Structure 1
Amino acid sequence: MAWDREFLYDTYPRIEEAFSARLDESLAPRDPSVLLQVVRELGLRPDSRVVDVGCGEGTYAFRLATHFGLRVLGIDPVQRHLDLAREVRRDVVPEIASRVSFERGSATRVPTADASIDLVWCRDVMVHVAHPEDAYAEFARVLRPGGHVVGYQVVATDLLPREEADWLFAVMGVVPDSADPAVLDRAIAVSGLEVVDTIDLASEWGEWSEEQEGRASRALLHLARLLREPERYRAEFGDEAYDVMLGDCRWHVHRMEGKLAGRIDVLRRPGGG
């Protein structure tokens, strides 16, 4: 739209307050619990076997065991994550602790037998996998016929300029192709897994966290400070830590801008009842 003096200084001021008030109304964004709702709708029986790929400190492994009575193997390539998860496990009630274990593994090397798993849970991992087709093929290998994958990740959108993506992905350990929705779609297609549903969350999780905790506005404030006085923070924490913090702040801001978008994939291995 071309600049219009009359609209900008006469028409728009008459509606600006109402427009702003409307934008203050929540669009009821979905929150991360939608992932657990997806699992609930699968109707898994108690004691069904689950692999939590990229389990980190075990947060969702324990939730899956607690909410649904599932037996969960959390796998992660980072030893520190496994150590922390096992430490948490020692403080969990025995009924839940007995259902959860942790081992070294990755999206392309899942330490379980063929056709032995009912659910593969994979959150915020695929963007770090160099060859997602290998990961989905591995998921298909370990799943029983009729078993499911519930995966979540952030993908790049057409709004993210290439130069911004190059810097951000390098700092955050993201494989550029693996953040491309088309690449993921092709990887899923050749894996033999069926697509049950693909849920486009766009900026919803970012909006939710902003409404609940002010996370995005805090990230924006931190970003402004990092950019205004970089040497202050580089001197105290080092160049590498500075770049990671800068990348993390930009990641949260880009999610709100629509340059990055959340996506849930619900997949199924053919066969079964």
Structure 2
Amino acid sequence: MAEIDSITIDEMYTSRHLEVADRAQYRSFEPRRSSMLYELVDDLDIGPGDLVLDIGGRDASHSLALASLFGCDAVSVDPVASNNEQARAAVAEHPLGSKVSIRSGMMEEIPAADGEFDFIFSRDMFFHVVDADRALAEARRVLKPGGHLLLYQTFATDRLEPLERAELYAGLVVAPERMSPDDFQKRASAAGLVIESTDVIGSEWREAWEEDGEGLTSRQLLYAARLIRKSEQLRAELGDADYRVELANALWGVYQMIGKLEPRIFLLRNPAVSDQDNP
């Protein structure tokens, strides 16, 4: 570990430092909102007549949002039976539910025809993927030439300590190799996808949720504190597996806020035939 120079006691208690820190504590640095993800979809001119794949769609909430915002049709694909049950229930109750269909499957083996989709939407699910090369090859297979994959993914930073990594990954079924942005970019390029842009989100969305009064990460911090302080009691009440999931999920948000985890947005394109002929 690299040595870190210590500040002096005078530097710690300087009045100017305290005054500046006090002002900074209550100042917004204008974080972007999570709605920017849909703004990026809008920039791609997705609309009626387009078919969108929501990979790792969970309860189909993103599929329904895409259909509502852009008038497209969407297919939610998820490997978890309970997620698909919730998705079907949500679709049945939604006014635009007829525009969304549910398929059981995983990214490594997408249940779709070659070139079936105009656009692929992936929100914070890629860390579950075991075989990234196969998953990215499948994404390219089902995506029309010239189509885009918009992938929001949380990655680890050097601030995340080894024990924190081990507990977090075990609790949320994370494939450790998926937590490296460099590894992702290398594999995406090897799959033949063109990386058009990368945007580091970091803590911005979570700062915005706090500033907007949602307090999601504050609640997660409080929940994590209770889970840790009353670990024996809550582990007995929840069961070991659910306790570990709850604690890891709470810490996931806290770690994003303090820079141990770093969400990024990747916009990738499946090259058109003309692109491949003229590199």
What TM-score comes out, normalization by structure 2 length? 0.92
Residue 5 of structure 1 and its aligned partner are, at CA, apart by 2.6
CA distance in 1, matches of 2:85, 2:121: 20
Contact 1:205 1:262 in 2 (8 A): no
Residue 44 of structure 1 and its aligned partner are, at CA, apart by 2.4
Q: Number of residues paired by the alignment?
A: 269
The one-letter amino acid of 2:216's match is: R
Residue 64 of structure 1 and its aligned partner are, at CA, apart by 0.7
The one-letter amino acid of 1:236's match is: E
The one-letter amino acid of 1:191's match is: A
Deviations 1:143-174, CA, capped at 9 Å, x for gaps? 11111101111000111122211121011100
CA distance in 2, matches of 1:23, 1:152: 29
Residue 210 of structure 1 and its aligned partner are, at CA, apart by 2.4
Residue 106 of structure 1 and its aligned partner are, at CA, apart by 1.2
Residue 15 of structure 1 and its aligned partner are, at CA, apart by 4.0
Any residues of structure 2 matched to 1:96-245 within 5 Å, and which? 96-212=96-212, 213-245=214-246
Deviations 1:12-49, CA, capped at 9 Å, x for gaps? x3441442222311111122211101110011241201
Deviations 1:69-119, CA, capped at 9 Å, x for gaps? 1110111111111111111122222xx222111111111121111112100
* 2:12 aligned partner: 8
Structure 1 segments (4+ residues) deviating >6 Å: none
* 2:265 aligned partner: 264
Contact 1:131 1:178 in 2 (8 A): no
Residue 251 of structure 1 and its aligned partner are, at CA, apart by 1.1
The one-letter amino acid of 2:64's match is: F
The one-letter amino acid of 1:255's match is: Q
Residue 235 of structure 1 and its aligned partner are, at CA, apart by 2.2
* 1:52 aligned partner: 54
Partner SS for 2:201: strand
Aligned alpha-carbon RMSD (Å): 1.5
Gaps of 5+ in 2: 275-279
Residue 232 of structure 1 and its aligned partner are, at CA, apart by 1.6
When structure 1 is superposed on structure 2, of 159-168 and 144-153 the one drifting more is 159-168
The one-letter amino acid of 2:251's match is: R
**Residues 203, 120 of structure 1: CA spacing in aligned structure 2 closer, same or farther, 3 A cutoff?**
same
Residue 209 of structure 1 and its aligned partner are, at CA, apart by 2.2
The one-letter amino acid of 2:151's match is: G
**Residues 224, 45 of structure 1: CA spacing in aligned structure 2 closer, same or farther, 3 A cutoff?**
closer
Gaps of 5+ in 1: none
Partner SS for 1:98: helix
**Residues 14, 62 of structure 1: CA spacing in aligned structure 2 closer, same or farther, 3 A cutoff?**
same
* 2:70 aligned partner: 68
CA distance in 1, matches of 2:259, 2:148: 29
CA distance in 1, matches of 2:73, 2:12: 60
